[in-house]
């Protein structure tokens, strides 16, 4: 309401103040860091634009290094200290004392926004914002502040100068928010107890490991895709158009296609600011494969300060490289979907074990469970969470994941088949609201990154 009543020339102020209030409500102690990143990046960006040649490059390096230093300290210092202490233990030395650092909410996302802004200014891909208020509103824009999508400044720069507000755009945004909230509350949250039980079992059985891993694959999708729907919808309600972040990734017929459809904004960022600067595909097949592998390792590390995430990134990088090598060597036509989709999902599920496990040792126990080395039957704690309702949620999730793309492909744009789900969304959304009111708060999974 406040935004709608604000004159157009002052709406960036409204967005900025509302976004900072939103962030301070979640984590007031970290608000200063967000403001520091905004001011630092804006000032450095001004120097990048005002300079040329080596001096311009020096300012860019300072800006990127400064932002990465803040990310490294707050996100990876605990991991570094723990790793050093582990080595000291092996060598027989006493551990040094370390005070755990709290990770500010959304740090990884707004640092990436700041870095992309500086690099795009250097490349000439982005124009300078009108003022620091527009830039601060871009970085702190509350729909994407704490969990993405990761946006490049030039995609929104013109929209900050001028954007349209129509009833149709507002209604479409509200619909996206309804879809996202329904995904989160009705399809992701109910699976959390099952996933937690399976992944906290000391020696998960085959049934524990497989059921928990499949449930986690569904939970993560509906949790994060639900957030992305809500972010895109809230932005539309404010007049902004965000790019899509999920393009039916679980129907992909290759790992390459999967990563072109899952968390699209992160994939774009890694390609533009890691893969291409490393050399991309410009220096032969071996160097290309190495660049691809390293990019995915960096993407894994971005997700969290744990060796499990690094290994998860390397797992995906290895399969991307393998697909590229086999394609270059044999050049065979793609396999049929009935074979390729389950194969891709098996690779994804096995990789997600590393993504979800607390540490590498526990991931090893889960893999033992998947291989049937810890017995087959459900353990008692997991069995308590396997209810008919949760199994129904899993089946409903599978139906949505694979049924929705098929429905959209076969239904004509203006047909009754295409509009029927829109009418069904209202009671589903009301059920989600009622469920949310009756349950405990369950944060989005990507808030931890």
Catalytic residue among 113, 229, 303, 362: 303
DSSP 359-428: SHHHHHHHHHHHTTBTBSSPPHHHHHH--HHHHHHHHHHHHHHHHHHHHHHHS-TTSHHHHHHHHHHHHH
Give whole-number Cα distances, 121 to 41, 118, 148, in Å: 11, 5, 21
> Which pair of structure tokens corresponds to residue 135?
């830039």
- Give, in order, the Cα–Cα distances in Å from 325 to each of 225, 329, 347, 348: 31, 6, 17, 19
C-alpha span between 252 and 340 (Å, rounded)? 8
Where are the alpha helices (H) located in 92-205, listed in sequence order? 107-123, 132-140, 142-145, 153-161, 167-182, 192-200
Q: How far apart are CA 298 and CA 75, in angstroms?
A: 14
How far apart, in whole angstroms, are the C-alpha atoms of residue 136 and residue 119?
Answer: 17
Sign, Cα dihedral of 235, 240, 244, 245: negative
Please give the torsion angle defined by the CA atoms of residues 37, 225, 213 and 385, in that order, rounded to the nearest 10 degrees: 100
Nearest Cα residue to 120 out of 150, 147, 148:
150
C-alpha span between 449 and 440 (Å, rounded):
21
What are the tokens at 379? 């353990």
Residue pair 344/254 in contact by the 8 Å Cβ criterion:
yes
- Sign of the Cα torsion 43, 159, 12, 231 reads negative
Q: How far apart are CA 227 and CA 230, in angstroms?
A: 5
Q: At what angle are helices 206-237 and 388-410 packed, to 10 degrees?
A: 50
DSSP state of 202: S
d(CA 299, CA 81): 21
Beta bridge partners of 373: 375
Would you call 303 a catalytic residue per the annotation?
Answer: yes
Instruction: Check: CB of residue 110 under 8 Å from CB of residue 139.
Output: yes
The count of residues in the chain is: 449
Which residues have a catalytic role annotated? 303
């Amino acid at each position: 309401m406040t935004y709608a009543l604000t004159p157009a020339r002052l709406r960036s102020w409204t967005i900025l103040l509302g976004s900072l209030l939103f962030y301070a409500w979640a984590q007031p102690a970290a608000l200063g860091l967000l403001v520091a990143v905004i001011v630092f990046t804006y000032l450095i960006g001004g120097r990048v634009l005002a300079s040329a040649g080596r001096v311009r490059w020096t300012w860019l390096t300072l800006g990127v290094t400064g932002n990465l230093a803040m990310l490294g300290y707050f996100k990876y210092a605990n991991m570094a200290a723990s790793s050093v202490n582990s080595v000291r233990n092996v060598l027989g030395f006493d551990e040094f004392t370390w005070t755990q650092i709290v990770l500010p909410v959304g740090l990884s996302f707004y640092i990436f926004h700041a870095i992309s802004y500086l690099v795009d200014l250097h490349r000439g891909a982005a124009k300078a914002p009108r003022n620091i208020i527009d830039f601060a509103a871009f970085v702190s824009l509350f729909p994407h502040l704490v969990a993405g999508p990761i946006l490049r400044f030039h995609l929104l720069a013109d929209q900050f100068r001028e954007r349209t507000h129509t009833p149709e755009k507002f209604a479409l945004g509200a619909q996206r928010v309804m879809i996202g909230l329904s995904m989160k509350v009705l399809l992701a949250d109910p699976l959390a107890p099952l996933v937690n039980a399976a992944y906290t079992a000391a020696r998960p059985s085959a049934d524990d490991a497989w059921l928990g891993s499949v449930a986690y694959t569904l939970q993560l999708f509906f949790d994060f895709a639900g957030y992305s729907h809500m972010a895109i919808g809230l932005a539309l309600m404010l007049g902004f158009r965000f790019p899509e972040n999920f393009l039916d990734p679980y129907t992909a017929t290759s790992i390459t296609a999967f990563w072109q459809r899952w968390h699209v904004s992160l994939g774009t960022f890694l390609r533009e600011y890691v893969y291409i600067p490393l050399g991309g595909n410009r220096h032969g097949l071996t160097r290309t494969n190495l660049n691809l592998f390293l990019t995915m390792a960096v993407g894994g590390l971005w997700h969290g300060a744990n060796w499990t995430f690094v290994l998860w990134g390397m797992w995906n990088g290895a399969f991307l490289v393998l697909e590229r090598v086999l394609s270059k060597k044999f050049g065979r036509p793609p396999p049929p979907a009935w074979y390729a989709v389950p194969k891709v999902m098996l690779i994804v599920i096995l990789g997600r074990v590393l993504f979800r496990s607390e540490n590498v040792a526990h991931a090893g126990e889960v893999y033992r469970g998947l291989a049937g080395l810890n017995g087959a039957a459900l353990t008692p704690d997991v069995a308590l969470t396997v209810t008919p309702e949760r199994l129904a949620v899993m089946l409903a999730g599978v139906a949505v994941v694979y049924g929705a793309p098929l429905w959209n492909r076969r239904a004509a744009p203006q047909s009754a088949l295409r509009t029927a789900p829109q009418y069904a969304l209202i009671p589903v959304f009301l059920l989600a609201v009622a469920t949310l009111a009756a349950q405990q708060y369950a944060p989005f999974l990507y808030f931890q990154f």
